Chains A and B, each alone.
Chain A
Amino acid sequence: MQQPSTIAPFDGFGLGLRRTHYEDFLESDVPVDFVEVISENYMIDGGRQLRILDQVREKHPVILHGVSMSIGSAGGLDPDHLAKLKRLERRVDPLWVSDHLCWTRTSAHNSHDLLPMPLTEEALTAVCANIDRAQNELGRAMLFENPSSYLTFPEDELSEWQFLSEMAQRTGCYLLLDVNNIYVSARNHGFSQDEYLAGLPLDRVRQIHLAGHDPATDGRPVIIDTHDRAVVDGVWDLYAKATAMLPQPVATMIERDEDIPPLPELLAELDRARGIASEALVPA
């Protein structure tokens, strides 16, 4: 398969564009370098949402971040989803298009959740074929995000970082590193965060996500990625470690999808990310 075009590093700090903040973005100059939108929310035929996205696009670069491509589906990609994503991509001309290393559906049903991949050679082959198809259809390389997961499979043959590395090498795709997801999955499955970072092709990383999660409880041993609260110190520490290891600048954003606070609260978190990233650039 022909390798897709390259994606140049983008050094900036951004937020997810959510309905709660539409007026802020339309009526003021929000100090962000980009916004990220959930692709599927705008893969529609017309109306107010698309008009707002067009207006925000005039002010800020936009990243399209999908949740329903389902690149892990054994049955392949949904042609309707891909066609509508391509239409949106042509309209927005985004910095890049991203989705997740996961599957969401079978031919019969859609879970609307990011379900975990068995980390096997068979799954890797299926994922790479789907990524090849998506990148060919869009005519550009994509980014794929490491998911948070709540179980691993007895049949796993690779670690997640080995899977991601092979995936990037075989398809030419790039990586969206969700630091919170590494933190969550490392605790849920007992792997080393350091080993995870060291095992990734960090030169393929173009973006970092930071988010909050729901910690484990006495009755529930699993940490859940919820995007409904502030980033915790452990995730900030891991972010500092990751930015110090990355060989190129990347785009960093705060993800909040539930209990979304006023914009200043998210901007304060983004300032903290700026501070950490700038320290990482200071020579020791």
Chain B
Amino acid sequence: MSARQTLADRQAAFLRSVLDEDAPLPEGWGNSQTAGMSVYRGNYRSALVGALENTFERTARYVGEGPFKKVAAHHAIAHPPSGWTIEEAGSGFDATCAQLFANNPEVAELAWLEWAMLQVSNAPETQPFGASEFGPATAEFRDEDWMGLQIEFQPRASSREVRANLSALWIALEEDASADRPDPLLEMAKGCIVSREGELPTFQIVTTGTARAFDAMQSGASYGEAIMLLAGGDPDAEAIQQAAVQAGAMLGEWLNEGLIVGVKA
């Protein structure tokens, strides 16, 4: 005779059966429990696939309903969620798309963009640190202060290098899945920065250098380090000078676009 099962044991066994259709049903179950379990299994899968369809609307339109449901089901099985918010089911979905649509890199990048837009849309409210604040804050800066300048960006803003023609795809996939499709890939790699304009998420296509500089500074790199990143490996004085000019223009754009919420020397 088996040892008495605790509530925790029973719940673990129940959830194993929900997640895995091949898992054995708990001891002592009959036909009525088996019929009920099939409903819970169906609910689990449809809830997760539905959540992924909501989060990745454009990705779903791009690949089509059938293929999307297959990828979504694969993702739900491979990465069962653990957090209390069902939106978390979308975490890592771009990587799943990269794996399953290996010949169409634009699919994973589109999924990344939708996930990044969702993350930034629910971010805490912040006030942009505009040019009118930036001027006085840096008025007394010496060269070394500029080189050590660190920037605080909008919370949950993100960036990456992209090959997908995201601007055109985003518009084409807004509502009608049958609309004319643009070329899915760019001729050369670009960068993409996702941020919030007011309360709405937005994105912009930038140079790969700008995206790398954004990424580095978001991770704590200084303005001086960003200049060296833009200058490339083993730069001469002229390249550093050009990178400094480029960084100044980039900083001005970030200020104007409200991407910056604070600075520290």
Tell me if B's interface is mostly helix, strand, loop or mixed: helix
Taking the complex as formed, is B81 at the interface, i.e. its CB lies under 8 A from any CB of chain A?
yes
Give min CB distance, A194 to chain B, whole Å. Answer: 22
Taking the complex as formed, is B18 at the interface, i.e. its CB lies under 8 A from any CB of chain A?
yes
Q: Enumerate chain A residues within 8 angstroms of B37, measured Cβ to Cβ.
A: 150-151
Q: What 0/1 pattern do residues 23 to 34 of B give for CB contact below 8 A with A?
A: 000001110110
A113 lies within 8 A of B47 (CB): yes
Give min CB distance, A108 to chain B, whole Å. Answer: 6
A73 lies within 8 A of B11 (CB): yes
Q: Which of B122-180 contact A (CB under 8 A)?
A: 122-125, 155
Q: Which of A80-113 contact B (CB under 8 A)?
A: 80-81, 103-106, 108-113
A109 lies within 8 A of B15 (CB): yes
A122 lies within 8 A of B124 (CB): no
A110 lies within 8 A of B40 (CB): no
A48 lies within 8 A of B44 (CB): no
B39 lies within 8 A of A224 (CB): yes
Q: Which of A128-174 contact B (CB under 8 A)?
A: 149-155
Taking the complex as formed, is A40 at the interface, i.e. its CB lies under 8 A from any CB of chain B?
yes
Chain A CB within 10 A, most for which of B11, B28, B44, B80:
B11
Q: Compute how far the CA of A78 lies from the CA of B84 in the bound complex, rounded to whole angstroms.
A: 8
B40 lies within 8 A of A113 (CB): yes
Q: Compute how far the CA of A44 lies from the CA of B120 in the bound complex, rounded to whole angstroms.
A: 11
Q: Enumerate chain A residues within 8 angstroms of B33, measured Cβ to Cβ.
A: 151-154
B83 lies within 8 A of A126 (CB): no
Give the interface residue-count category, chain A.
35 or more
Q: Which of B95-110 contact A (CB under 8 A)?
A: none
B121 lies within 8 A of A110 (CB): no
Give min CB distance, A144 to chain B, whole Å. Answer: 17
A45 lies within 8 A of B122 (CB): yes
Taking the complex as formed, is A68 at the interface, i.e. its CB lies under 8 A from any CB of chain B?
yes
B123 lies within 8 A of A46 (CB): yes
Q: Compute how far the CA of A48 lies from the CA of B6 in the bound complex, rounded to whole angstroms.
A: 44
A150 lies within 8 A of B40 (CB): yes
B123 lies within 8 A of A45 (CB): yes
Q: Enumerate chain B residues within 8 angstroms of A224, measured Cβ to Cβ.
A: 39
Q: Which 8 A-B pairs have the closest CB atoms?
A: A151-B36, A150-B36, A74-B8, A44-B122, A74-B7, A45-B124, A150-B39, A46-B125
Tell me the B residues contacting A by CB distance below 8 Å.
6-8, 10-12, 14-15, 18-19, 28-30, 32-33, 35-37, 39-40, 43-44, 47-48, 51, 80-86, 89, 121-125, 155, 196, 199-200
Tell me the A residues contacting B by CB distance below 8 Å.
40, 43-49, 51, 68, 70, 73-75, 78, 80-81, 103-106, 108-113, 115-116, 118, 120, 122-123, 126, 149-155, 188, 220-222, 224
